[in-house]
Structure 1
Amino acid sequence: MTTQALTPPRRRSRAGARRILASVVAILFALVWLFPAYWMLNSSLLTDEELTSRVPVWFPARATLAHYASILGSADFWSAMRMSAAIAAIVVVGSIALGFFAALAISRFRFRSRMSLIIGILIIQMIPAETVFVSQYRMLDTWDLLNSVAGASLIYLGTNVPFTVWLLKGFVDGVPVELEEAALLDGCSRMGAFFRVTLPLIGSGLVASSIFAFLASWNEYTLALVSLTSSGSQTLPLWITSFSGMNQNTDWGGIMAGSTLMALPVVILFVLVQRNMVAGLTAGAVK
């Protein structure tokens, strides 16, 4: 009698202890992940003397905005910002438009060479980007697209569209085909059923694909290094390298401040769309 009465509280206490332990471990992992971002922000607010000191400064007691003022007053920074924003916008819109229709075709239709197309998409994703640098450079040079938004966007689309197609295919497969058939019975055309039924239900997939496409183009360095060789047509990752020098000549304050400003749009974007990045919006749709 006594043992049976004491068992539930003991189990609850053990379960509570496990939850507390799991929470502590999760907080420790989160601190490890957040430390590089904190160190970047902290270093961007330090003076040059503190940055070059042998003793690390963990908190900016004498915080300065001199590095940010220098960057925001630079015409090269705003030129690189416009270049990155234009390329990212084209890549996001192009990847979603091409990837959505390709995912619909692969998921909903059975056509000749369908499996070959799927295998081809997988193979393209497995090809290292470095192996096609020479051919990409020669292609852009032949088409007179070097050092241009169109040329860089074309290369980025070639690397992002296959991944977007594969990602959106999974979301389209999750939409019950019975919903589209019901829309067809109600008088919708095939295209109307896609846009009125399927498109709203894969909103989370479109948001996730857009985020991946944006990050891939916003942070990309190696492809930009190949296609944007002029100093006047650089993206933000290329522009940040201008602060690097030999040993003591490196402007670490400028690098950290520039990296913080570069990461700011990504953080804002995640804050705005985090609620939409949830899969499974179609759960219970048939019911």
Structure 2
Amino acid sequence: MTAKTIERPAPSGTATPPRRRRRPRGEGLSTVLIHLELVLVAAVVIFPLLWVVGASLSPGDGLGEVSPFPSEATVDHYVNLFTETAYGRWYLNSLYVAVLNMAGSVVLAAVCGFVFSRVKFKGRKAGLLSILILQMFPAFLAAIAVYMLFLNFGLLDSLTGLALVSIAGALPYNIWLMKGYTDNLPASLDEAAAIDGAGRLTIFVKIILPLMRPMLTFVAITQFTLPWMDFILPRLVLQSADKQTVALGLFNMISSEYANSYTTFAAGAVVLALPITILYIVLQRYLVTGASAGAEKG
């Protein structure tokens, strides 16, 4: 007779070893391909940055002997940038326009997005349709109209006027962006606050606005970046040398037929990227927190 094997239960307190999950066939190959793709994309993005930084540290003015890793690095171009040009003035002008554009865009986008999403009023659909139509046209098509408006209202050669037109140009997109985000917030929050006696302003400031933080952060970063890098609009409305932005100043530095300060231009481009990098590092935690909160809520 064959003895039957009796399986005894594991003693209490003894952990059962987990079973190893078998990897599907081809999963290892797909992982390798994904990592290879990421490495290639990173190389394509990082190499131009290394080349610009290397050019800013290379001796001389031409680009003939520039390399990402110069053998004789120097910071003379950064020193010349602030001592022999008006780069500091250009930098402050660009910073003023970018900060004003960022602040105005965030405030108007938040308020208008809340109003179009939560408030029912006459002409709401017509207003949204008008904003959508305005969003379809490129900004440069309104160049002549912007110039005439600036001329009639005395805003030519004004940094504040440049910031105002930048805010207005990006407002349709920002309104639709904030409206779509606010539509996904539960209306029960508004109803519960209204039952407790809160008005629309209180609901917006204390309930909806904190929930808008991730999208407001995105708007702040993009609206700081756009005028910081813009060239066409400042070229159109700014005329004085002391009102030039960084984009105009750097362009004039190398636009002359006999100009060859390309390494100094590269140094200016590196310094130009610093505020955007710092702003993203400071604000990225709000983007990550907002994405995580949305995932947990879903």
Q: TM-score of the superposition, structure 1-length normalised?
A: 0.89
Residues 49 and 68 (structure 1), Cα distance of their counterparts in 2 relative to 1, 3 Å cut: closer
Q: What is the distance in 1 between the residues matched to 2:81 and 2:257?
A: 21
Deviation larger for 274-283 or 224-233: 274-283
Residues 122 and 208 (structure 1), Cα distance of their counterparts in 2 relative to 1, 3 Å cut: same
Q: What's the counterpart of residue 111 of structure 2?
A: 101
| 1:59 match: secondary structure | coil
Q: What's the counterpart of residue 33 of structure 1?
A: 45
Residues 284 and 12 (structure 1), Cα distance of their counterparts in 2 relative to 1, 3 Å cut: closer
Kept after mapping to 2: 8 A contact 1:67/1:254: yes
Kept after mapping to 2: 8 A contact 1:175/1:282: no
Kept after mapping to 2: 8 A contact 1:91/1:214: yes
Alignment of 1:57-96 (within 5 A): 57-74=67-84, 76-96=86-106
Larger Rg: 2
Q: What's the counterpart of residue 34 of structure 2?
A: 22
Kept after mapping to 1: 8 A contact 2:62/2:263: no
Q: How many residues align?
A: 277
CA offset digits 1:24-45 (Å, max 9, x no partner): 2111111112222121111111
The amino acid that maps onto 1:86 is Y
Residue of structure 2 aligned with 1:44, choices 56, 62, 65: 56
Alignment of 1:146-165 (within 5 A): 146-165=156-175
Which structure 1 residue ranges, 5 or more long, are not aligned? 1-6
Kept after mapping to 1: 8 A contact 2:91/2:246: yes
The amino acid that maps onto 2:229 is N
Q: What's the counterpart of residue 118 of structure 1?
A: 128
Q: What is the distance in 2 between the residues matched to 1:202 and 1:272?
A: 17
Deviation for aligned residue 1:194: 1.3
Which structure 2 residue ranges, 5 or more long, are not aligned? 1-19
CA offset digits 1:107-129 (Å, max 9, x no partner): 11222221221121122122122
Deviation for aligned residue 1:13: 7.1
Q: Which of structure 1's runs of 4+ aligned residues deviate more than 6 A?
A: none
Kept after mapping to 2: 8 A contact 1:45/1:60: yes
Q: Identity percentage over the alignment?
A: 29
Q: What's the counterpart of residue 262 of structure 2?
A: 252
The amino acid that maps onto 1:21 is L
Kept after mapping to 2: 8 A contact 1:100/1:168: yes
Residue of structure 2 aligned with 1:192, choices 187, 196, 202: 202
Deviation larger for 253-262 or 106-115: 106-115
Q: What is the distance in 2 between the residues matched to 1:243 and 1:108?
A: 50
Residues 247 and 46 (structure 1), Cα distance of their counterparts in 2 relative to 1, 3 Å cut: farther
Deviation for aligned residue 1:260: 0.6
Q: TM-score of the superposition, structure 2-length normalised?
A: 0.86
Deviation for aligned residue 1:265: 0.7
CA offset digits 1:157-191 (Å, max 9, x no partner): 11122121111112211211111111222232221
The amino acid that maps onto 2:96 is A
> Is 1:204 equivalent to 2:214 in the alignment?
yes
Deviation for aligned residue 1:284: 5.3
Residues 19 and 42 (structure 1), Cα distance of their counterparts in 2 relative to 1, 3 Å cut: same
